[in-house]
Each structure stands twice: as structure tokens, then as C-alpha cells.
Amino acid sequence: MKNKYLLTLALSTMVAGLTGCGGESANVIPEKNNNSTVNGSCSAGANNCIEFALDYPLDGLNFSCSSDTQNTFVTLMDLDNGVATGTCNYNDTVNVFLLGKADKRIALGSFPISNIAVVSTNQIPRLTVLDIAVGMTNRNATVLDPSDVTVKTAMNLVKIIQALALQQKTINTKTDIQALYMNDSIREGLDKITNSVTAQQMVNGDYAAILKPWLDVSVISDAEAFEVVSKLLNISNAAVYQPEFSLFSTSGSVISSLTGSDGLTGCNKDVCEANDTTTKHLFGHFMLLTDREGYTFGSGLQWRGLAKSGLTSIAGVNAELIRSYKPTQMTALPQNHWINPLNKRIDQNYYIGVNDPNSEDLIINQGKLYNDYMIAGKEKFYKLLTQKTTVTSDDLKDLGRWQQRYGGSDTYKGSLDIFKVYPITYLDKQVFKSNSNVATGESYIFPLYADLTFKFSESSVPSLKLGIVIDENGDIRTNMKAAASDTDMSTGSCSLSVASNLKDSNGVQQYRIGTTSRAFIDDRAISIRMILGDEALKSVNGALVGVNSTIQTSAAGESIVVGGALIHLQNLLNASAGTTGRISFTDSAGESVKWANSYASFQKVYNANNSDETVDDTALAKLSGGTLEMSLASCYAVKTKI
């Protein structure tokens, strides 16, 4: 008989008591053979061990790994990272279920761990409710719609989780997503059912009647369950996506670090030879942000032109282009498609605008995300990610590809390695209190209206004040007043309605600029990321905030550094309804938040290497970055849910 690694009543009680103070490390219990922990058959970070994170923050989902015939395991909530995790070996089949205290269970199917990851990387892949549903139906979802049998099965699983969350009072609204702990009382209740539930009964819907003595899943409607499934898929996709800036990279492994990739490169010929002086090369970089609603937007830059003779590598060509040609800004306006969450492919063209009247958009037209970590543009990375030794013609369709028409005659095209970094998590209501997750009569602080003040390192550039709102879902948009100027785009009102096109009721066009990454329970803070990409934002068009990135700009080690951005909410959480309270805004080290603009920064590099600098070039280089301050808007106040 398999060992069931479940938390004892005493430990469950202790964990529940520590939930508010980040004491999740108490969950980890070494097994007797000391080569794995309670949440998996292998140790995270070990060779051939795949650690996964549930898209739902569920502590106590039971699973087994086929390579371990003696033990079963449970996912454990890691409050430091906002996810519930587990591990299996890379060639395992994972069997998923919910187990009672005695012998009753809800079978949730099985699937190869290779469905979500083949190799371990420095980012944990997400195991979604849809992935689990595939293990029950043995069919991939083809459309995100309740008519799809796999989507419907995922909805059935969500009904169980949400009904339990309501029963345990961890959520106040039926579509909220909060951490849920499968405690002893839940498992004892599961043993009240007459028969265990099979995976087929989860698929055909018969599970609901069997569970009735324990749990009434009908309290969650189909529409509510589908909304939760959609939210979870958006959370799983949301992150920063970027190619490596391959200027000075010469070798390395994608498994250990973001190095050795060519990033976004190409030319106007079928084959891009570094030593061909008749080839026009194109090299670029961007950062895209996918938010909680599924919109993807961002900013970047590119260089295009002939390289000198004698060059032997693409990295050498790229460095030459940066020194010899002015950068051109790229802007990706919000698009509600990017990587399809069902098949992890780019199956619709994604357009990035190019600020050049002779150029059409750069189009990303192909690619598949592997290991929830990388789209490989070259075969060497594809083989690393998939562990394949050969690449077929069908495999080539999964490589990252782009193209761009220029001047009516040239077509540039090339490869694209894209990394998914800084994924987001659910927002814990202990910190992120919104109208949609608190109980009636309780105070809440989101939507939060504030003003950002962008200060420039170049003292001659005037500061810019920008009104923003962090909405009740955690996404961030501008909230500019009607009578805005080039330096004063501050908040005008905290009560205007906004249409789906983000035009407010005063007729002012607003813009998507970011999202909330996660909530830190201990620090009573939230982490935010913003990419400002629209010419309407004037001197901060292209600004990067909170993206935790370093971009090297020279072989001497000069870099663009953008750290984190934390809004500390302790005082605001303690404020009474109707009052304003206050916030503080820092990076992760408690210092001033830094922002940067890669386009302006590389214009500065060009100016330093060339003598044809224009007045506009000089002005642009002064917009390369600075510090950022945040204050609550004067119209903002804490509210009470009615």
C-alpha cells in the first residue's frame, strides 16, 4: 500500500496559523529515504527533476509519480513565491487525485510530466487546471469554450475547488482565487461519500451527485466556473517576454541562465552571413508584458543596415550596427492575443509597430513556448528544450520567426528566441483588498488611484506627472486628466467610467501600461511592472518600470538597470473608510525606484560613437531614465463594500 504523505492535524493547524506571516516552510517534511520531500519524488533543482507550480494556489492536491511506486505526495503552498508546488522526475507519468482521510478519493486522471516540461530550467513551469483536465479526457482543448469537453472538465474541477473555498470561507465571491488548504476536516468530509469518483465521472458530470453528501458543487454555476478557468489561464500566461540582448553573448546554456542566444536577428536574404558586406542586417530587442486580462503590449528598438567587412559572428554584426546606426523605436500596442494558452503557440500574427515611415510592422508569426520558459528560434535551443536529437520539418514550425517589410522592396526575416520571465501569481486578499474579494461591510483599497512622478537623471529635463489606476483585477492603466500638458498628465478624477477601448467618460483616451505581479503578505506590499508604449505619453514613451532587468550597452560593462517596484500598503490597509491613508514606493532594497528607457539609452550610445548628432538626437538621449515617485491621488479614499 502506498504511503500517503498528508499533513497531520497538528501541523495543518500550525500552517493555518502561519499563513498570514509567511510560515509555509513548516510544510516541508523530509521523507524517510531523505532523497525527496513531501511535495514530490525528487528534490527541486536536482538533475532530471521537474518542479511544477499549480496555476491555482491549492495546498494539498494529491499526486503520485510513476517512478516512485511506494509514496504519494501533495502540492505545498509556498507563500514566499505565491504558488503551490510539486516535483516528479522528467520521464514520469503524474497521477492526480483528491484523497479523503480514509479511503475515498476523487480521481483526476494522469498525464506525462513532459506535457508541461522536459528539462528543468530556472523558472518553474505552470501546471494548469486545463493540463489536469487533459489527463482525464485524453484530449487537448481546441477552443476556450464550455462546449469543449476538456474545458468543461476543467470547469468541473474548478467547481469543486471554488465550492470548497466558499465552504472554508477563504473567498467571498464565487469567482475569486485565493489560497486553499486541504485540511483534515475537508478530507474527513470527503469520506462521507458512498463511492469514490472516477476520472470518467469527472468528465461526464456524474461526480456532482456522488459528492452531494460532502459538497454541493451546484453553488458554482457553469458561467462562474468558466470565468475562473479563463482567469487562471490568463494568470498562467501573464509575464514579461523578451529576447536576450545578444550583443556580448558568445556561449552558454539556456538551462542555467539567459545567455548564448542570438535574440532577435535577421537580414534581407535567406541566409544571414556575418562576413557578407552586401547583406542588410536587422537586430532588435523588446519587452512585452501580458496582463491579467490577456492583453499583451510593450516597447523595444531595432537597428538595420550593412555591416563592415571582417566580421565573423552575429554578435559582432550587432555591435557594429549599434555603433554605426541610430536605433529605431518599436511599440507593440495592446493586442488580446499572444501565446495561445491552449497549445502554447503563436497562432495569430503579433504586430510590433516600427517608428519609421518607410517600414511596415515587425510581425512575429511563429513560435511555441516550451517548458513554460522559452520560444526557441534556433535548433540548438530547440533541442535543449525538447531533448530531441534531430529536428523534423514539423518541428521547424515551432521555431520563433519574424518578418518585416521595408521600403516596398526589402523583406527582412529571421529567428527569435523569446524568454518568459517574471510570471505573476494570484493576489492574496490579505494585501490586495478589492471590491471583488472582500465581504460586505469590509473596507477595500482597490481600485487605487495615484500619480507617478518621473524624474530624469538629466536635470535639464522637466519631470512628468502621470495619473494611473490599479484596477480591482490588478492591471494598471493611465488615468490622465482632460486638460493634460506634456509634463502634467496627472489624475483628474477617481470616478470616471472607462469604455472597453479605454476612453473615459470625459472623452480622454487612456492606455494600458502594466500589471500587479503579486502580493507580499509579510511586507503588506504589492509588486508592479509597467511598460509604457505610446507616443501620447511624451517623454516617458518607452519607459520600463519594475521589470528587474539589466541590459549591457557596451563591452566595457556599461548597463541599463531597471530594478523592482514595490508599493507598501500597510498604512493604507489600516486606514479607516473615507480616509486617504498613505503609501510608500521603493525597490526591493528599500531605495528609490529606478526607471529606464532602452531606446533613449542606445541613442546615447550612438551619440557617443558618431559625429552627426542632431538636436533631436541630443534631446532623446536625455530621456534615458531616472527615478520614480508615487503618491495617492487627492481624490482617492478607502471605501467600504456595500
Predicted confidence (pLDDT) per residue in 38-68, tens digit:
789 898 888 889 999 999 999 999 999 999 9
Q: Which of 238, 89, 229 is nearest to 158 (CA)?
A: 229
Q: Specify the residue for cell string 556575418.
A: 274
- Beta strand 71-74 with 62-65: parallel, antiparallel or unpaired? antiparallel
Whether the pLDDT of residue 248 is over 60: the answer is no
User: Is-contact 501 514, C-beta < 8 A?
Assistant: no
pLDDT at 313 (0 to 100): 84
pLDDT(24) > 80: no
Residue ranges of E strands in 280-399: 280-290, 296-306, 328-335, 350-354, 362-366, 369-370, 374-375
Mean pLDDT across 319-325: 89
Closest CA to 430 of 143, 20, 83, 110: 20
pLDDT at 502 (0 to 100):
95
Nearest in space to 222 (alpha carbons), one of 153, 303, 128: 153
| 131-189 pLDDT per residue, tens | 999 999 999 999 999 999 999 999 999 999 999 999 999 999 999 999 999 999 999 99
Residue 557's pLDDT is what?
Answer: 59
C-alpha 341/C-alpha 324 separation (Å) is 40
Q: How confident is the model at residue 79 (pLDDT cuts 50, 70, 90)?
A: confident
Asked if pLDDT for residue 551 goes beyond 60, the answer is yes
All residues at 6 or more sequence positions from 33 whose CB lies less than 8 Å from its CB, including other chains? none
Contact 549, 529 (CB under 8 A): no
Q: Determine the length of the chain.
A: 642
Q: What would the 3-class secondary structure string for 84-133 be?
A: EEEEEECCCEEEEEEECCCCCEEEEEEEEHHHCCCCCCCCCCEECHHHHH
Q: How confident is the model at residue 555 (pLDDT cuts 50, 70, 90)?
A: low
Phi, psi of 155 (to 5 degrees): -65, -40
User: Rounded to two decimals, what is the model's pTM?
Assistant: 0.91
Q: Which residue has the higher pLDDT, 593 or 315?
A: 593
C-alpha cell, 391: 529536428
**pLDDT top residue among 268 and 15:** 268
Helix axis angle for 149-167 and 129-137, nearest 10°, is 120
Smallest CA-to-CA distance from 472 within 57, 260, 173 is with 173
**pLDDT interval class at 252 (50, 70, 90):** very low
Over range 543-557, report the average pLDDT: 77
Which of helix, strand or coil describes residue 207? helix
**What is the spatial distance between Cα 325 and Cα 282, in angstroms, rounded to a whole number?**
11
| pLDDT level of residue 310 (50, 70, 90 thresholds) | confident
509-545 tens-digit pLDDT: 999 999 999 999 999 999 999 999 999 999 999 999 9
* Per-chain mean pLDDT for the chain: 89
> Tens digits of per-residue pLDDT, 418-437?
999 999 999 999 999 999 99
Q: What is the DSSP string of 608-619?
A: HH-S---HHHHH
